[in-house]
Amino acid sequence: MTQQIGYSDAGVDIDAATRATDKIKELARRTFNKHTLSEIGSFGGMYDGSFPDVTQPVLVASVDGVGTKLKIAFLAGIHDTVGRDLVNHCVNDILVQGARPLFFLDYIATGKLSPEVVATVIEGITKGCSENGCVLLGGETAEMPGFYAAGEYDVAGFIVGVVGRERVIDGKQIAPGDVLLAVPSAGLHTNGYSLARKLFFEVAGYSVKTHVAKLGTTVGEALLAPHISYLKLLSPLLDQKVIKGLAHITGGGLVDNIPRILPEGTSVRIRKGSWPVLPIFDLLQQIGNVSEPEMFRTFNMGVGMVVVCARAEVARITDAMQQVGQTCYEIGEVVQGNREVFIE
């Protein structure tokens, strides 16, 4: 063969990757702080690990994605929200153990790299990082021809935070008689989208542009509602040691996530109707005739975070939330049992 074949002939555009990286560097620098010791593009991101204000620092790490919520972004052509969702999801995952975020890493993979789309996703990530006081320390953008459908990509995030050992929230002190407080979600957050897409698009025949009166918005806008970060809301309470346990309500809903923080010998009873269920969940159940147990195990049902505390601390916590304009709801209590959730 006399014809010269290069990487671009295999579908990989190194020049496009370089343009994307240049834009990412510009965006990431907006999140840097005094602890940041390296630039985007280094083989490894460096972060100053001295924490003079934290006694016996414990690092808490988590990794996650946004699942098939990305399919909604592809259909709607909106790419600046899923990155923020990703950061907020990861922040909440380490928040439940009392940790505040330090730095974040992202991974974006696509079939054919579009610098503009990648930059838009990163804009969402940097916005999420800035809002949560978190440094975007590095990441990876992978172009893999033939691996993803045209116009599609996947994104995942890795976060590291810190908490003093004496302030770790581990649920070990949860006991019968304690109270469950629900902090509302904004929608599906980042879970249950495979079922939601089937119900809205296949069963009901909606598109992302369909305006639904019950939702007061289009299907696309409702499904792209943000995944809320609860860091700013709960951060002041972390230092007061009034929270015994936190459960981020993600995949598995209330039924599977609350038991993750319960000690041996305890269960919880949750009272239906004790918090407002968002219209989108009622609509999904109606469209698919979905059973109630299936709804509670697939979706968050309007609850983004559950706070477990002693009865004596309820007023203190609810007052603190009300001062920043957030309403929470008393939805149940801890009882004796075998790490189960009873919804009655």
Task: Determine the pLDDT at residue 181.
Answer: 98
What is the length of the chain?
Answer: 344
Residue 92 tokens read as: 């909440």
End-to-end CA, the chain: 73
Residue 31 tokens read as: 């999140």
Q: Tell me the DSSP string of 282-331.
A: HHHHHHHT--HHHHHHHS-TTEEEEEEE-GGGHHHHHHHHHHTT---EEE
Helix/strand/coil for 3: coil
pTM over 0.85: yes
Task: Determine the pLDDT at residue 6.
Answer: 47
In the chain, residues under CATH classification 3.30.1330.10 are: 7-167
3-state helix, strand, coil in the chain (%, to 5): 35, 25, 40
CA 292 to chain centre: 24
Task: Determine the pLDDT at residue 40.
Answer: 85
**Domain 179-343 -> CATH class:** alpha beta
**Domain 7-167 -> CATH class:** alpha beta
Provide the residue-wise pLDDT of the chain in tens; the chain has 344 residues: 566 554 554 565 656 666 767 778 888 899 999 999 998 888 899 999 999 999 999 999 999 999 999 999 999 999 999 999 999 999 999 999 999 999 999 999 999 989 899 999 999 999 999 999 999 999 999 999 999 999 999 999 999 999 999 999 999 999 999 999 999 999 999 999 999 999 999 999 999 999 999 999 999 999 999 999 999 999 999 989 999 999 999 999 999 999 999 999 999 999 999 999 999 999 999 999 999 999 999 999 999 999 999 999 999 999 999 999 999 999 999 999 999 999 99
Q: Residue 77: count other Cβ atoms within 10 Å of its Cβ.
A: 10
DSSP state of 337: S
